[in-house]
A and B are shown apart, each in its own frame.
Chain A
């Protein structure tokens, strides 16, 4: 059952990897996120070097997102124009992120930045999602009428130039916020090895105020492009993509993603958001805990010496 991975240079149980891919794929299809933030910690736990784990799982995200986008596209729930514009930002961000990551590894601070980003981004977004969805669920339980949502759009966001129409999202806004969001997600995708769906989805909902129906499909579309670029960059610049590892994860992932997308229709949106918020918060806390717990060994190897 063990297979030797040529780039990671370790031997792992492939059945465990297929299961992991399927599980993360399921979560990804269910919530419309890449699921990278779940997979990277598990891969590292299995003994795969963190740099290889981060780079190789990106192609798993590509596969499960492709499969997801095709599904959502059939329902007309992908705004290609919005996704494409965000992907332009994503590409810029990915280029910058891969270079920043190289520099951080050289400084030996990559761990710290990864842990901090996980704690900061996952923690805050998890809290927000959990709070928002729980109040919504409580309100429904009590049978209170739906509060009028504040549809007033922030002036600073909508007063910007280069306006474009996004019919599918029901928006007429400047291209600057989507590009800016794309850049942020691109940087995170390179540093944290994640697609960035957990940031994109809430940002598209609450900041850009896109139609809820197209948010998941569009974020997946943007994620495909950003992670595809990240994968090529990581392979070209750092040689840390393990094709055997990523294909094993992909096979499990695409099956899981299909099942997940099927299940997604069976739950209420706010229930899904509450569950996702909880998962995001837990992972963020787990990663952040490393900053405060005394490490078992004060010394550790810093990766990134092959070209030192």
Chain B
């Protein structure tokens, strides 16, 4: 039997122009060194049982050659201003200095890497990328300026110079003590050739908001590829309702707290009278 050729189509569909993603990836993964990563959970729900969270970040290095590569994971929480005071001794009594305001320090910052950061890339490179707690950009204006806030004169907004470094280090040290800043030089482990994982440990004091995770791939001290992820930490359910109520209608909320407390006191005294 000779197969009958199919009838020619009436209209020939125009060839579809290849869009962006699919072919590009196949090209890239075919040759270039590249990194990709994902989080097991991109939303952390803070409810009454919240006692910190551990999120696993996993990813793959495509086309690892013979050249050794390093992976660095940087997670930073939402920025918030920080006020710091220094205790100084005056006539035998420890007093607070005037507070210094840092206008933006991440509320959470962690790095995890395959090796200590100083072995992976040089100082300049890390500083340029803002990778590592020592290279963290804590926004502070260039020169000392004093402003008036809430009628308080001479609030020092920033103080640069060698003094500034002490203050900066103190921010980091205090945050590290609270487990909010963390450096783990062995936090990224390779499960298999090209496949790695890292853990992000959020303490209960971790601020809510949007977190950014950068996963860097370094080779010979230079960043080769980066993958950006976002992580949301948010209050849910009862916790969220209470928080929003307390901030949207603070006066009503306060009144409710007092009435609830007074009612409880009243009920208790009624109950105890029986005995």
Contacts and interface: CB of A to CB of B under 8 A. Distances in A.
Given A7-B242, A106-B150, A298-B87, A59 B261 contact: yes
A53 B149 CA distance: 25
Contact of B250 (A10, A236, A297): A236
Q: Which of the listed residues A7, A107, A299 has the most CB atoms from chain B within 10 Å of its own CB?
A: A299
A244 interface: yes
Interface stretch (B69-77, B136-144, B211-219, B252-260): B252-260
Interface in B217-267: 235, 238-240, 242-243, 246-247, 250-251, 253-258, 260-262, 264-267
A294 B95 CA distance: 11
Interface size on B, as a range, is: 35 or more
Contact of B246 (A3, A239, A247, A297): A239
Interface string A83-111: 00000000000000000001100111101
A250 interface: yes
Contacts of A246: 257, 261
B130 interface: no
A11 interface: yes
A103 B83 contact: no
Contacts of B171: 299
A133 interface: no
Looking at chain A's contact residues, is the secondary structure mostly helix, strand, loop, or mixed? helix
Interface string B21-48: 0000000000000000000000000111
Contact of B51 (A11, A70, A108, A234): A11
B21 to A, nearest CB: 40
A108 B254 contact: no
Give 6 nearest A-B pairs by CB, closest first. Answer: A235-B254, A66-B265, A299-B170, A254-B268, A108-B99, A232-B254
Given A3-B48, A241-B246, 5 more contacts: A62-B265, A66-B265, A239-B247, A243-B256, A247-B261
26 contacts: A2-B49, A6-B235, A7-B242, A9-B204, A9-B205, A11-B52, A59-B260, A66-B265, A106-B150, A108-B97, A108-B98, A111-B96, A228-B262, A231-B258, A231-B261, A232-B258, A235-B251, A236-B254, A250-B264, A254-B267, A254-B268, A257-B265, A294-B94, A298-B87, A305-B80, A308-B101
